[in-house]
Structure 1
Amino acid sequence: MNICIFGDSIAWGAWLPFRVSWANLLRNYLEKNFGSTFSVYDLGIDGDTTNDLIMRFDAEAKARSPKLIIFAIGTNDSSFRKTRNNPIVDINTFKRNVKILIDKAKIYTQKIIFLGLVKGNDQETMPLPSSSTGKCYDKENVVLYDEAMKHICLEENVNFIDLYSLLTDQDFIDGLHPNPAGHIKIFEIIREMFDSE
């Protein structure tokens, strides 16, 4: 069974040693417990928004024919430069994009999971020091986008995993990207979903 993880830098484990991200922890867990039954493809790209993901989704999914799709996207959409009123992807476009991604995913499978956005730490992300373009991330925008995603998932009968309340300030490297402890928490909540099926 092919599992595709579509996302951004958090999905691929930015700033972490190899094989410590939640996606790699999931791959290791499935390989250890189920052998070659599952193939996990981590398709996270640094800086991706829902706009970017829509452009590459068809080619990536067609090449792998996934039976489970996990989306870990949206945090970059909520980011902004200089003023909160000028997000990278405005909220209405974001809502439309989430619906488009769900429709595209349903071509391949009904097993779809959206991971909610992480809250991060405003004191370290206004702007994010590692951003070459001065991107800012704050909880106010994250909550707005996270709630929109959660609502759409409920409407579309798609699984939603709340990460906003899962991670604390101590679970981040730079206020935005989870550290190893944060990735373990994300992995554990996804693993619980696998174990319950």
Structure 2
Amino acid sequence: MNPAQSYTDDERRHFLRYTRTAKWPMLQRFPIDEDGHLGLLAGMLATDPGTVRSMIHDMCDENRATAARMLADDHYRSAVTGLPFRPGDRVVAIGDSITADRLGWFELLAASVDPAAATLVNLGVSGDTTADVLERFDTLEAARPSHVLLMIGTNDARLHGRAHAYRMATVTETARNLASLIDLITHQLGAAITVITPPAVDQDRIDAHFATAPVGWTAEAVAEIAGVIRTIAPHAIDLHEATRCHAPPGFLEADGVHPTPTGHQLILRQILRRLGRC
């Protein structure tokens, strides 16, 4: 434990919600066991591995309970059973923190789908851009997907700097990276792909939450990324448009970027509505 650091349980939970060291590219290429990951996370959070394990388990339990409540709804249950997945399919989600979220849309989907129907693998990594996903394509290949759910782009629009802010990727770079990923997934892996635009963000909340930080976003830039995705992947699920126009109060966390657990339920329903037509 680092005596110079002190975190509240809420801060630790927030960190663990989005941080999956087992999905970090270097630790996928050179894997360590579960105890090693627990120790690594515990060291980061100045706590003990038992606390980390308990917090992660609590979030998994919350997720399963939410999925069980959703499955009690006939419409939702029908949407899940109507998914175009078959036994033996490996459905892999790849993206950033919105996908990596332990209380997020893909974890809810994984908790809702009968394990006998398909295997679901979450390869979301917080902070990833389209370039990062392209760089770790080998980890996607190793997951042997038959169907890839790709939601990426929010961090391409991320800004760094104070007096002068620089965007992580230009429109041209995002378009090139996304086109490359789609080509690699469909032709090299032979997998089906569903591309999803990132959800809309809340500028007022972003400005308030990141006011003193050297990092931020603009709603305009995220919308621009969504437009690029629509151009490259015309059949993409347009989550950005759906959440820009119809997101209810409580859709986003206080930072204005990450969906709340309730927001993730809305995201999953939007995705199911489109996947069921495939």
TM class, shorter-chain normalised? 0.7 to 0.9
* Divergent runs of 4+, >6 A: none
Query: What amino acid is the match of 1:120?
Result: V
- The match for 1:76 is 155
Query: What amino acid is the match of 1:10?
Result: I
What is the distance in 2 between the residues matched to 1:85 and 1:130?
13
**Where do residues 15-164 of structure 1 align in structure 2 (5 Å cutoff)?**
18=102, 20-31=103-114, 35-57=115-137, 59-81=138-160, 82=162, 86-106=166-186, 107-126=188-207, 128-129=209-210, 134-154=214-234, 159-164=235-240
Given the alignment of the two structures, is residue 166 of structure 1 paired with residue 245 of structure 2, yes or no? Answer: no
1:196 Cα deviation (Å)?
Answer: 3.3
User: Equivalent of 1:8, from 90, 96, 101?
Assistant: 96
Runs of 5+ unmatched residues, structure 1: none
Cα deviation code 1:105-127 (max 9, x no counterpart)? 11223521111122211112237
- Structure having the higher Rg: 2
> Relative to 1, partners in 2 of residues 1:24 and 1:139: Cα closer, same or farther, differing over 3 Å?
same
Total equivalences in the alignment: 183
What is the distance in 2 between the residues matched to 1:92 and 1:194?
28
Cα deviation code 1:2-47 (max 9, x no counterpart)? 011110001112xxxx4x310011112212xxx3231111111111
Give TM-score scaled by structure 2 length: 0.61
Judge which range, 160-169 or 97-106, deviates more.
160-169
What is the distance in 1 between the residues matched to 2:269 and 2:110?
12
What is the distance in 2 between the residues matched to 1:23 and 1:179?
13
Query: What amino acid is the match of 1:28?
Result: A
State the identity %: 24
What is the distance in 2 between the residues matched to 1:64 and 1:83?
42
What is the distance in 1 between the residues matched to 2:90 and 2:163?
41
Cα deviation code 1:64-94 (max 9, x no counterpart)? 2111101111000011124787311111111
Alpha carbon RMSD of aligned pairs, Å? 2.2
Q: Secondary structure at the match of 1:47?
A: coil
> Relative to 1, partners in 2 of residues 1:130 and 1:51: Cα closer, same or farther, differing over 3 Å?
farther
Q: In proportion to residue count, which structure has more helix? A: 2
Give TM-score scaled by structure 1 length: 0.84
Runs of 5+ unmatched residues, structure 2: 1-88
What is the distance in 1 between the residues matched to 2:208 and 2:179?
29
> Relative to 1, partners in 2 of residues 1:172 and 1:100: Cα closer, same or farther, differing over 3 Å?
same
Is the contact made by 1:166 and 1:185 (CA closer than 8 Å) also made in structure 2?
A: no
